[in-house]
Chain A
């Protein structure tokens, strides 16, 4: 029987939290072979093959169907898979990796607190500066969809690989679309979130992809795994209350 492949983050906080969550569900995830290797297994679930993949590449693996399941942030799925609605199944929210994708503008823009007001300044801005306001972001598709749905098109995206919060003060862009958890980094960089500027409240999810080859056996194994993780997530939520 072919195995159920599960991609989990290969390093950092997201990997630790994933391992912890599995442990709470009574599942021990461990590496197979060399400790620096990228294959693993789950004790008690021999039908599952674990692949350690960098979290940004998990979306690509789900998109192509090279894995059946993956644990990553909703933000990365929405950004990288344009047809996520049909291609990807959201199996279980995991209760960690919380991050909001938000529109943030300089706090000194006391005249702008909604997307509608942002739209109002776009034309005067262009009249004065000869170009549209620039939005620094690594979430190009999410940004375009969000503004597009609000009928706002008078902006220009500047791709930003990192330190996006610094773009407005350094003059690289007028505003940003980025992730934030507490808002502390935004505040430290003189930015505020628009009132209607929370695009996505993201957290880590267990995703399945329809692009992979599924058999009834694999589906059954997937349900078993999802069930165990779901009860672990519920317990965590209750203990937090």
Chain B
């Protein structure tokens, strides 16, 4: 639903003004990043899957540009332009249009042109507090509009890592499963396969070279790979360095000697991935399975409990909060907390707001290193629809 009528446009404008006033009052600087953005950053960060959802075009000079599919990446770029030191602590808020191609055809709930009003917070090392505050401000803005019947859904990509730590599996297994977690399509299948070993022997690798590589002596290992390439008259070309290739070969060598994934660990992982429901109950489920875990580390659980406590302190009614271990796995750039706010009238597939932590995004935008970053945006048309089309 774009602003097809003047009334609609005015209602959206009035709503956004109220939302922005909440953000500004909370200490966020109002900014207006460019609508036309270089396509590079988006495609590099989010991968080829996003191209299918983004209006990408080439201008008369041959530059590849896009209509921004969200306002988070443009705000990261704006931050980097403003601050020579990207670690500078900053808080921004914005309100404006974003554009997405809808493969199934544009609908009221999934328009190709929509408005987002949101906040971004960069450089704040007090991560957990910043996250709770972000959620609380978004809820506050939504309530200020007059919408009170919201529910909040949480996920946490980082929590999976902590659960893996608790199972006491080897570092190689951990990396493997961490990476696989982001690909839910193949994850379950992979987990089954891992029970017989991560990498069955194959004829593809130079055996002698593989057996000579050692993680604790990278210099010698790299030298061995260089000698091998020279003997085979293979030229080193491209952007992957000798170190990149050697590191992967070492992983391959180690994985081939790795014992199969412990059945008990696999079972715990399956159970964790299946955790979903009211946040407090989900916490109990996680607590139970962590206690059964071989190394029994409570780190994951402490993180979870602390998050709920911080949200409760920020005034969020935990009775309206749910948690799903799988939530966020397919959302490209999130690295920790991920959340969305839903309205019963719009259904679970059309959240009225969403956000989370994405510490790796700034690096892709050009900062050179990860920067703490957390933010969220309200989907303006959906919020208005949830309000029955009336501004406050």
CA A113 – CA B238 in complex, angstroms? Answer: 16
Q: Are A130 and B238 in contact (CB under 8 A)?
A: no
Residues of B within 8 A of A174 (CB): 238-240
CA A72 – CA B257 in complex, angstroms? Answer: 50
Residues of A within 8 A of B51 (CB): 157
Q: Which of B67-107 contact A (CB under 8 A)?
A: none
Distance to closest chain B CB from A153 (angstroms):
5
Which of A31-39, A49-57, A119-127 is near enough to bind chain B?
A119-127
Q: Are A190 and B240 in contact (CB under 8 A)?
A: no
Residues of A within 8 A of B43 (CB): 156
Known: A156-B47, A157-B48. A110 touches B229 (CB 8 A): yes
The answer to whether the Cβ of A180 comes within 8 Å of any Cβ in the partner chain is: no
Which of A101-109, A221-229, A231-239 is near enough to bind chain B?
A101-109
Q: Are A108 and B238 in contact (CB under 8 A)?
A: yes
The answer to whether the Cβ of A114 comes within 8 Å of any Cβ in the partner chain is: yes
Contact of B252 among A107, A108, A111, A195 (CB under 8 A): A111
The answer to whether the Cβ of B234 comes within 8 Å of any Cβ in the partner chain is: yes
Q: Are A120 and B238 in contact (CB under 8 A)?
A: no
**Majority DSSP secondary structure for residues of A touching B:** loop
Q: Are A111 and B47 in contact (CB under 8 A)?
A: no
Residues of B within 8 A of A190 (CB): 234-235, 237
Interface bracket on B:
35 or more
Residues of B within 8 A of A156 (CB): 43-44, 47-48
Distance to closest chain B CB from A151 (angstroms):
5
Q: Are B204 and A195 in contact (CB under 8 A)?
A: yes
| B49, B205, B237 — most chain A CB neighbours (10 Å) | B237
Contact of B206 among A109, A110, A154, A169 (CB under 8 A): A110
Return the CB mask of B221-257 against A: 1 if under 8 Å, else 0.
0000100110000111111100011011101100000
Residues of B within 8 A of A151 (CB): 183, 185-186
Residues of B within 8 A of A85 (CB): none
CA A206 – CA B243 in complex, angstroms? Answer: 49
Residues of B within 8 A of A153 (CB): 47-49
Known: A151-B183, A156-B47. A121 touches B236 (CB 8 A): no
Q: Are A125 and B245 in contact (CB under 8 A)?
A: no
Distance to closest chain A CB from B173 (angstroms):
14
The answer to whether the Cβ of B148 comes within 8 Å of any Cβ in the partner chain is: no
Return the CB mask of A88-117 against B: 1 if under 8 Å, else 0.
000000000000000000111111111000
| A107, A108, A147 — most chain B CB neighbours (10 Å) | A108
Distance to closest chain A CB from B57 (angstroms):
13
Residues of A within 8 A of B205 (CB): 110-111
Return the CB mask of A2-37 against B: 1 if under 8 Å, else 0.
000000000000000000000000000000000000
Q: Are A131 and B245 in contact (CB under 8 A)?
A: no
Residues of A within 8 A of B228 (CB): 110
Q: Which of A166-221 contact B (CB under 8 A)?
A: 168-169, 171, 174, 190, 195
> Which single residue of chain A is at the shortest CB-CB distance from B183?
A151
Return the CB mask of B173-194 against A: 1 if under 8 Å, else 0.
0000001001101100000000
| A123, A130, A168 — most chain B CB neighbours (10 Å) | A130
Q: Are B47 and A108 in contact (CB under 8 A)?
A: no
Contact of A130 among B186, B206, B235, B363 (CB under 8 A): B363
The answer to whether the Cβ of A240 comes within 8 Å of any Cβ in the partner chain is: no
| A107, A157, A190, A195 — most chain B CB neighbours (10 Å) | A107
> Which single residue of chain B is at the shortest CB-CB distance from A154?
B47
The answer to whether the Cβ of B45 comes within 8 Å of any Cβ in the partner chain is: yes
Contact of A123 among B44, B179, B364 (CB under 8 A): B179
7 residue pairs of the A-B complex, CB under 8 angstroms, read: A110-B234, A120-B248, A123-B179, A124-B248, A130-B44, A131-B364, A153-B49
Residues of chain B at the chain A interface (Cβ within 8 Å): 43-45, 47-49, 51-52, 179, 182-183, 185-186, 204-206, 209, 225, 228-229, 234-240, 244-245, 247-249, 251-252, 363-364
| A106-B238, A151-B183, A169-B237 known, 6 other contacts, Cβ within 8 Å | A109-B238, A120-B251, A124-B248, A129-B239, A151-B186, A154-B47
